[in-house]
Structure 1
Amino acid sequence: MELNGKLADAFNDQITLELAASTVYRQLAIEMDMLSLPGIAGWFRAQAAEEVEHAEKFITHMSDRGAHPAIGAIGAPALSVLTVEAAFEASLAHEKKVSESIRDLYRLAQNEGEIDSIPLLNWFIEEQVEEEATVGEILDRVKMISNDGNGLLRLDSELASRQA
């Protein structure tokens, strides 16, 4: 079944949002590099790469269904983070934005009777629950650490172990 209409347009918007998320995570990585926290920076770089993979899932789905994927305008991320806590707060806020967008796509697919897209959207719903939980847990730990240098260095070391 060919994908077209409102859902195809919404998928293109989601592709743009996923790539914008990648840009946000890349900027957060830069900010953490500036704080001399290479492990946390690496975690954000891996997250940026994952967002590109998410965009690719939508691109592939659209291409397989005869639709034309298109990337919209992506502006520079407007981020001002001076602390690890602020970086993970920005990350969590962005994940929540992406989660709501996925839920909107699911609702639209249901309303349009677009059952062929539901498996893809189910995967993304599960992924976003995991993403929010992971970032929320890290944020909770950052808040416990506060400005304790030893704690930040330990978290930096732990997050460095993430495989991209």
Structure 2
Amino acid sequence: MLEENISEKSAFVRLVLGIGLTACGISHLVKENGSRMLGTLSVAAGAMKIAEGLFFYCPTKALFSNNVKDAVSSSIQDFMDADSLMTAFNSKYNSGNQNQSQSSQAQSASGNEGAELLQTAANVAEKVASTTPAGTEANQAAKAVKAVAHSQKRSK
């Protein structure tokens, strides 16, 4: 059975618009000088919208939501594994316990790893921003992370 992926409100709107679109398509088909292709496409699109409204299921929405979930999960797995994050964190924040010469060497290494961490954050944010719909909280958060990462890179 199909899992519902649209709300009752959306289903009602799709049902009403589908009926209207089907009616317009039929009127094009009935007219003698009407466009047969436009009428046929309108009836087909209207029938699809009616079915979406009746079954509370939109195949296009299901396709895009699955692709977005897959893209986000794979990009996070590709760019952020726990070992590299912990190595970068430890090298940045545990360098204070060493003597001065070791501290300067650790700072240059942590600076490189910090830059790598910022680049990783920017890459993940860019991937999330490009795969999520504009205006959503995830999209806005990804853009904010990307902006912060780029400003941190410029200030160093």
TM-score class, shorter: 0.3 to 0.5
Of the two structures, which has the highest relative contact order with CA contacts closer than 8 Å and spacing of 6 or more? Answer: 1
* TM-score normalised by the chain length of structure 2: 0.41
Higher-Rg structure is: 2
